């Protein structure tokens, strides 16, 4: 997720960023520890992912200035899977088998993670995944530093229900695994809270969808039944621009039908007209506007590294910041980059986050995070309108799906399993 010194202009402009393998140090490979960076630098997800590549380059640069890791310099290896989901598997294999990276930081969409997952497991690599996702997964080889549904989707719905008195729900998403599974969880949660099926509208659109006129018209009609209506959006990538624009075209204000988005942050808002978006909401675990010394320092370092004071920061950047620092601490603790040793050493590792509090790597390979709801401002930033009192532990398996409720993930003894059924006392799938 990084766009190396290529500022975003508008979401609907095509981004084509060259993304061949980057070699940052003219030294022999055995003198460095290679770190894989697996983010789309072209295609529909480049708008979100190119910045994460730059974030990783900054973090690696900072670590090298501190003396590197285990007495060696870190060497970034950047590849471009180009928003092509099968290509994520191919690039993952290349990074682990050919480039011999110690860890990979990458993916945005769940379909890209699902593509890389079997390869990471087969070759016993490490993947740090920095984006909110649908849960229902815990791999020995993956560390999930983005939000699980109980750290974003569920709190957002609770806020809309309790604070904004929402009674009707539009679950609008891009047509792939993350929105479909998240909405399955949310639909079950809403029904458990007494919401009738007739008060839930679900809609999916393909990646890059641009013609929103009829869908927004349907949303407007659905919201005219005399009950407070909100849109819970899992729309990803550049399809968000025409979606919000069409809301404005049809005169749908945030006061009438608020939208709470799970994939729209500061980066997606930069360089576009935010007037139609003002007052709409986003749920994340970090906002650039949060006033803490750690965040101020991070923003300062980012602007210095990227050489552009207008570049924003966002939630997945913080997730990479947390994940990378946890990996460094685990490697130092294990005194090796060996996958199994690092995977065991990282459990319980703590890292101060940028919004206050200290995140911890949990036995289920998820982390603890605060949850924040932000309201979009006309300058493209967010004003925090609600947040949890403390940090929330990420839950790999949802309590709101009957088939998942008895499942737990715990990569420590005696369970050592990411899919353990507490009723049958059996482990399904991968285990130590």
**Predicted pLDDT of residue 432:** 64
Quick: pLDDT tens for 142-185: 999 999 999 999 999 999 999 999 999 999 999 999 999 999 99
Quick: pLDDT tens for 307-339: 999 999 999 999 999 999 999 999 999 999 999
**Predicted pLDDT of residue 273:** 83
> Residue 84 CB: number of other CB atoms within 10 A?
16
Q: How far is Cα 46 from Cα 392, in angstroms, rounded to an integer?
A: 30
**Predicted pLDDT of residue 241:** 87
Which residues of the chain, if any, have pLDDT below 50?
A: 1-29
> Of 188, 161, 187, 183, whose CA–CA distance to 172 is shortest?
183
**Predicted pLDDT of residue 22:** 40
Instruction: Give the dihedral of Cα atoms 291, 293, 299, 302; nearest 10 deg.
Output: -160
Cβ-count burial 144-169 (b if 16+ within 10 Å, e if not): bbbbbbbbbbbbbbebbbeeeebbbb
> Of 101, 3, 16, whose CA–CA distance to 53 is shortest?
3
**Predicted pLDDT of residue 272:** 75
Beta bridge partners of 34: 75
Quick: pLDDT tens for 67-80: 999 999 999 999 99
Domains of the chain and any CATH numbers: 29-147+291-369 (3.40.50.2300), 150-290+373-393 (3.40.50.2300)
**Predicted pLDDT of residue 23:** 41
Q: How far is Cα 52 from Cα 359, in angstroms, rounded to an integer?
A: 20
pTM: 0.89
**Predicted pLDDT of residue 274:** 87
């Amino acid at each position: 997720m990084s766009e190396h010194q290529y500022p975003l202009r508008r979401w609907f402009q095509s981004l084509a960023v060259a993304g061949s393998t980057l070699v940052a140090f003219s030294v022999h490979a055995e003198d460095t520890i290679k770190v894989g960076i697996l983010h789309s630098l072209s295609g529909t997800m480049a708008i979100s992912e190119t910045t994460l590549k730059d974030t990783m380059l900054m973090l690696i640069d900072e670590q090298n200035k501190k003396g590197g890791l285990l007495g060696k310099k870190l060497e970034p290896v950047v590849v471009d899977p180009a928003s092509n989901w099968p290509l994520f598997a191919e690039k993952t294999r290349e990074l682990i088998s050919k480039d011999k990276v110690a860890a990979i930081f990458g993916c945005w969409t769940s379909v890209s993670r699902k593509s890389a997952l079997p390869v990471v497991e087969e070759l016993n690599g490490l993947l740090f995944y920095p984006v909110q996702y649908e849960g229902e997964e815990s791999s020995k080889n993956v560390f999930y530093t983005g939000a699980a549904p109980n750290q974003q989707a569920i709190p957002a719905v609770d806020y809309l229900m309790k604070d904004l008195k929402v009674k009707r729900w539009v679950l609008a998403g891009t047509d792939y695994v993350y929105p479909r599974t998240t909405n399955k969880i949310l639909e079950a949660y809403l029904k458990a809270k007494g919401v009738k099926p007739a008060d839930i509208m679900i809609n999916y659109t393909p990646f890059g969808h641009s013609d929103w006129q009829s869908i927004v018209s349907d949303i407007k009609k659905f919201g005219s039944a005399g009950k407070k209506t909100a849109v819970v959006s899992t729309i990803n990538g550049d399809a968000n621009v025409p979606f919000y624009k069409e809301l404005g075209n049809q005169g749908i204000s945030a006061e009438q039908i608020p939208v709470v988005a799970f994939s729209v942050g500061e980066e997606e808002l930069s360089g576009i007209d935010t007037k139609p978006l003002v007052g709409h909401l986003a749920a994340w675990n970090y906002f650039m506007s949060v006033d803490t010394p750690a965040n101020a320092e991070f923003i300062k370092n980012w602007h210095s590294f990227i050489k552009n004071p207008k570049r924003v920061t966002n939630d997945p950047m913080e997730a990479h910041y947390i994940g990378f620092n946890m990996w460094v601490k685990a490697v130092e603790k294990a005194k090796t980059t060996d996958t199994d040793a690092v995977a065991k050493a990282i459990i319980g590792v703590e890292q101060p986050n940028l919004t206050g509090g200290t995140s911890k790597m949990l036995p289920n390979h998820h982390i603890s995070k605060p949850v924040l709801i932000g309201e979009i401002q006309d300058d493209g930033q967010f004003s925090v309108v609600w947040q949890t009192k403390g940090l929330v532990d990420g839950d790999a398996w949802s309590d709101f799906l009957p088939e998942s409720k008895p499942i737990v993930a715990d990569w420590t003894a005696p369970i050592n399993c990411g899919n353990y059924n507490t009723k049958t006392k059996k482990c399904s799938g991968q285990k130590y």
